[in-house]
Amino acid sequence: MRQLFESVTDVSLWLASQGFFVALVIGLIPYLLISFPVQYWIRRLLRKHEFENNDFAFPMVAGILNGVTGLTIAFVVVTLWNHHREQDAILKKEAQVIENLHMDLRHDAGMMKEAERALVLYVQTVATMEFNQETRQQGSEDAVKHLDEIYEIVQHIREPLTRSHAMNELAALGSLRHQRLSGTFHSPIHPALWLTVVLLTFLTLINLILFNPKKSGYVAVSVASLAYALILTLANQLEYPYLGPLSVSIDPLFLLLQKYDNP
């Protein structure tokens, strides 16, 4: 089971790194299989065994299934959207804390050049290394080194109040960075919930097939398949905030680099 969950995580991560329409096409394939071939064979089997539509039981089952499916998908989408917004807010706060540190360090002209150099190197490392899955660990080590340099500089600030404020900002920077890294490539949704969502959507489509014995049912199931694929593709693109076309913008960091001189 653990291996299955790891496979779901790997597939989800890979899909999140693809373009939106590529992920949509890939996600739509299993639903199209239900929409046409599977639907054809299910109806053929029902006709062969002279299956009758129970006007009482089927609507009750359909209502329960649709309600559970809708609530589950809504929970997943809302959770991932909130996670995406939180990561965006964390990055903006991190950029603001760096700017606050820069303002504190400007009070000491003697160490200003060295301090600005350390800040620029930290921002460059974060912007170019920590948003890339392959180099994230290496980038983290380099960023820690630059944070240590900034810490050493802050300790030598002569003004006590300015030094205290800068130390607090530095502690906040470390905390925000940790929060950002913890949410970069770790989904807030357990793989078991992804499996549940996929299973429920399949069951809902099969239930829709049973309710539409006529040819128009092919249209209904096709539209439902496209709708489910769109919703789940959107959710997948929001799952990892720093990957794919819906990724969090790192413009706040680039704006900081434009303010400082290159080291």
2 is a domain residue: no
Domain of 150, in residue numbers: 89-186+248-259
Task: Please name the residue ranges forming H helices in 17-108.
Answer: 20-33, 39-48, 57-105
d(CA 248, CA 239): 11
d(CA 253, CA 94): 9
d(CA 46, CA 130): 55
Does 140 share its domain with 253?
yes
pLDDT on residue 92: 92
Q: Is the dihedral angle over the CA atoms 33, 34, 35, 36 positive or is it negative? A: positive
d(CA 252, CA 145): 22
Does 147 share its domain with 231?
no
Does 93 share its domain with 170?
yes
222 CB neighbour count, 10 Å cutoff: 17
Does 235 share its domain with 252?
no
pLDDT in tens, 207-251: 877 776 666 677 888 888 899 999 999 999 999 888 888 888 888
pLDDT on residue 80: 93
41 is a domain residue: yes
160 is a domain residue: yes
Does 165 share its domain with 93?
yes
Lowest mean pLDDT among 11-15, 40-44, 49-53, 96-100: 49-53
32 is a domain residue: yes
15 or 46: whose pLDDT is higher? 15
pLDDT on residue 235: 92
Find the CATH number of the domain harbouring 112: 1.20.120
Q: What is the DSSP string of 78-91?
A: HHHHHHHHHHHHHH
Confidence of residue 262 (pLDDT cuts 50, 70, 90): low
pLDDT in tens, 43-87: 777 666 666 555 555 667 777 888 899 999 999 999 999 999 999
Contact 111, 153 (CB under 8 A): yes
d(CA 78, CA 60): 27
Contact 36, 218 (CB under 8 A): yes
Contact 153, 114 (CB under 8 A): yes
d(CA 127, CA 125): 6
**Structurally, how many domains does the chain consist of?**
2
192 is a domain residue: no
pLDDT on residue 79: 94
pLDDT on residue 74: 94
64 CB neighbour count, 10 Å cutoff: 11
Does 78 share its domain with 108?
no
Averaged pLDDT score across all residues of the chain? 82
pLDDT in tens, 106-152: 766 666 778 788 888 888 888 888 877 666 666 678 888 888 888 88
Name which of 154, 174, 188, 187 is nearest 93 in CA terms.
174
Greatest pairwise CA separation for the chain in angstroms:
90
Q: What is the DSSP string of 181-195?
A: HHTTS--SS-HHHHH
Residue 51's contacts (CB-CB under 8 Å, 6 or more residues apart) are: 45
61 is a domain residue: yes
Does 107 share its domain with 174?
yes
Mean pLDDT of 27-53: 75
171 is a domain residue: yes
Does 98 share its domain with 66?
no
pLDDT on residue 137: 63
